[in-house]
Amino acid sequence: MKKIFVLLVTILALVVPARAEIMAMQPNVKLGIGERPAVMFVKLHNKGAATRLVSAASPDFERIELHAHKKNPYGMMRMVKVDAFQVPANGMLALKPGGHHLMLFGFKGKKDDTVAVTLQFADGQTISVRAAPSQRDKMHHHGH
């Protein structure tokens, strides 16, 4: 009986793919100045298999896009919309200023309300991240 149990566990380990185990840390939402979009930064700690962050949604915003910085043919860094961010196995993805980040368009809430953002991963996992938004500093805004 013990051999059958070990055999079944081994087969299940081969059939059931490993899954990412993601925790969101230090979420930070900065509201846009005027009509400009808000931006979200967060550290995603993955204690499991590699996956990709493929989308984000929130009842507090009309739409959310994944953005990254890429060099244009002239060597200048430009922000561009991307389809996904790689989340390494047993590693960290930091959404941060000057790097990967979320652009949040059409804020529907009040400045002092906590917002909820649901992150969707390629393996089917979702996590909800809550943050109290702050106003972006006029001197250091995130240009788009």
Query: The domain containing residue 101 runs over which residues?
Result: 18-139
State the average pLDDT over residues 122-138: 89
Do 132 and 96 touch, CB atoms closer than 8 A?
Answer: no
Distance CA 92, CA 43 (A): 7
Q: How many domains is the chain partitioned into structurally?
A: 1
Q: Is residue 12 part of a domain?
A: no
Distance CA 76, CA 122 (A): 31
Q: Is residue 44 part of a domain?
A: yes
Structural tokens at position 98:
């000057």
pLDDT band at 136 (very low <50, low <70, confident <90, very high): confident
Q: Which helix (H) or strand (E) holds 9?
A: helix 2-15
State the average pLDDT over residues 5-9: 49
Q: Is residue 10 part of a domain?
A: no
Q: Is residue 1 part of a domain?
A: no
Q: Is residue 51 part of a domain?
A: yes
Model confidence at 2: pLDDT above 70: no
Structural tokens at position 29:
């939402």
pLDDT band at 1 (very low <50, low <70, confident <90, very high): low
Q: Is residue 40 part of a domain?
A: yes
Q: Is residue 58 part of a domain?
A: yes
State the CATH number of the domain containing residue 29.
2.60.40.1890
Model confidence at 127: pLDDT above 60: yes
Q: Is residue 122 part of a domain?
A: yes
Which among 72, 136, 142 has a CA at the least distance from the CA of 103? 142
